Amino acid sequence: MSRLIVISNRVSPPKTEDGSGAQGGLAVALAAALREYRGLWFGWSGRKTDKFTGHIDMQRAHGVTTATIDLEEQDVEEYYNGYANRTLWPLFHYRIDLAEYDRSFGSGYERVNERFAETVTPLIEPDDLIWVHDYHLIPLGQQLRERGLKNRMGFFLHIPWPPSRLMVSLPYHEKLVRTMLAYDVIGFQTEEWLESFCHYVERELGGTVDPDGVIHVGDRSVHAAAYPIGVDFKEFTEALESDAARESFERLRTSAAGRRTIIGVDRLDYSKGLEERFLGYRRFLEKHPRYQRKLFLLQIAPPSRGEVATYEVIREHLDELSGRINGEFADVDWVPVRYVNQGYRREELAGFYRAAEIALITPLRDGMNLVAKEYVAAQDPEDPGVLILSRFAGAALQLKDALLVNPYSKDEIADAIMRAIRMPKEERIRRWKAMVEVVRQEDVVAWRHAFVEALEKARPPVRREPTP
């Protein structure tokens, strides 16, 4: 069996035998994939160094080998805070108004991709399967090919692919997209993002797309398909059984004192539609005064990307808006918004999800959205909660039995909250059963198997002759 080399911007070393101590479901999933296929996980350590040395820190823990490098301050500023998070992230989430185009970002992005390629190449054996993750590393495959690697290589994009009319606003967009032809398999979260990518290839690169998803541009053929990511259903339901989950369930139910909880869990990011969500909730309170004291919104929003100014701005707006709503509606014994800027352990989150009667997950644009799936996975089958989900999340294409809303419409959000409150138990159970089936079947294990299988099938491995 070939080894699997996973390459992503950051590497999260697994902390426990089953990886459950690692932050985020994706880290857990990738650690599990690496244990299955042996191999290693390569990426940035998250640390800064004065001068880039290319030193690789190799560690092995709980069956997973990680190899990390440190980056220079300037690298982090231009590649990570710059091109990845100030240029590509907003553009790919349809926010060209927020996208910044700065030459230094572009050159920093190229430089760091070269640094990744240069340092990882000696670790790769001829039969290895290489799986590159996300928008930070789009040109990496090309960089590896330039260093003579003939391995099978795949790329998975965790975020949306924007419509061509937006994509062309990126300087040198064609150069960037052409580098993707170096991969053998390109994966997207949904058919929608895949379609946008194919449209770009036909329109801007003069390529063709076969009905089976093979893209041809010049003499290159690449297999492109949708591989919707899922949660680790087994790991998550086990987390629900933990003491920490039980305690956080009790903690929330006790403090709710009979009121219903509407929960939201999101990184503090403008793509998650938090301001619009608060305004939709405010509209609900305004329209239905008699419900005012019967529920509250618990928004968990751990800060992210604090070094990027737009994230500071959104944080200020949300502080202000939650304060305003609370000032307007609160009473001595009731606060309508509990807005929390800290992260919790996975087990604790699982307990909070279970305790909340309604989830309000309304990103303006989201590649998939795992929180929606985690909420479904955490529900009590006898008495499940209601999921209100943005139609612009990739997850909406699979979770069709959620209450789907337009996150830009305050009235749709307010009406969906009302509908969720009034929804009879039988309907809640029927909708939840349909959703949990999808979440269980199309979980993260199915996702990685489907992707790796496509990569294995992409073409026979090319064995390099040993150099004499």
**Which are the catalytic amino acids?**
158, 366
Q: Name which of 42 and 188 has its Cβ closer to ligand GDG.
A: 188
Q: Name which of 23 and 45 has its Cβ closer to ligand GDG.
A: 23
CA atoms of 216 and 222, how far apart (whole Å): 7
Closest distance to ligand GDG from the beta carbon of 346 (Å): 4
CA atoms of 53 and 69, how far apart (whole Å): 9
CA atoms of 339 and 318, how far apart (whole Å): 9
Cβ partners under 8 Å of residue 364, min gap 6: 93, 94, 270, 271, 272, 273, 276, 390, 392, 407, 408
Binding map of ligand GDG across residues 211-250, x = CB under 6 A, - = no contact = ------------------x---------------------
Question: Exposed, middle or buried: residue 17 (CB in 10 Å: 0-12, 13-18, 19+)?
Answer: exposed
Nearest to 272 by CA among 228, 318, 324, 307: 318
Choice from 10, 21, 24, 168 touching ligand GDG (CB under 6 A): 24
Q: Name which of 30 and 414 has its Cβ closer to ligand GDG.
A: 30
Closest distance to ligand GDG from the beta carbon of 22 (Å): 9
Contact 186, 223 (CB under 8 A): yes
Closest distance to ligand GDG from the beta carbon of 44 (Å): 17
Choice from 368, 378, 386, 413 touching ligand GDG (CB under 6 A): 368
| Distances, alpha carbon 2 to alpha carbons 61, 64, 147, 320, in Å | 20, 15, 20, 53
Phi-psi region of 46 (alpha: psi -120 to 50; beta: other; left: phi over 0): left
Is residue 343 near ligand GDG by the rule CB under 6 A? yes
Q: Name which of 19 and 207 has its Cβ closer to ligand GDG.
A: 19
Give the rounded distance of the alpha carbon of 12 from its chain centre: 15
Binding map of ligand GDG across residues 274-313, x = CB under 6 A, - = no contact = --------------------------x-x-----------
Choice from 11, 22, 26, 182 touching ligand GDG (CB under 6 A): 26
Is residue 396 near ligand GDG by the rule CB under 6 A? no
Determine the interface stretch with ligand GDG among 38-46, 290-298, 326-334, 365-373 (rule: CB under 6 A). 365-373
Closest distance to ligand GDG from the beta carbon of 88 (Å): 12
The residue assigned the tokens 């789907």 is 404
Reported as type and span, the H/E element at residue 247 is: helix 243-256
Choice from 15, 345, 419, 440 touching ligand GDG (CB under 6 A): 345
Contact 201, 209 (CB under 8 A): yes
Choice from 14, 25, 106, 230 touching ligand GDG (CB under 6 A): 25
The sign of the dihedral angle between the CA atoms of 262, 267, 273, 276 is positive
Helix (DSSP H) and strand (DSSP E) numbers for the chain: 17, 16
Determine the interface stretch with ligand GDG among 47-55, 57-65, 339-347, 397-405 (rule: CB under 6 A). 339-347
Reported as type and span, the H/E element at residue 47 is: strand 40-49
Determine the interface stretch with ligand GDG among 17-25, 58-66, 179-187, 455-463 (rule: CB under 6 A). 17-25
Binding map of ligand GDG across residues 65-104, x = CB under 6 A, - = no contact = ----------------------------------------
Choice from 75, 78, 276, 366 touching ligand GDG (CB under 6 A): 366
Contact 231, 444 (CB under 8 A): yes
**Site residues, ligand GDG (CB under 6 A):** 23-26, 158-159, 229, 265, 267, 300, 302, 343-346, 349, 366-371, 374
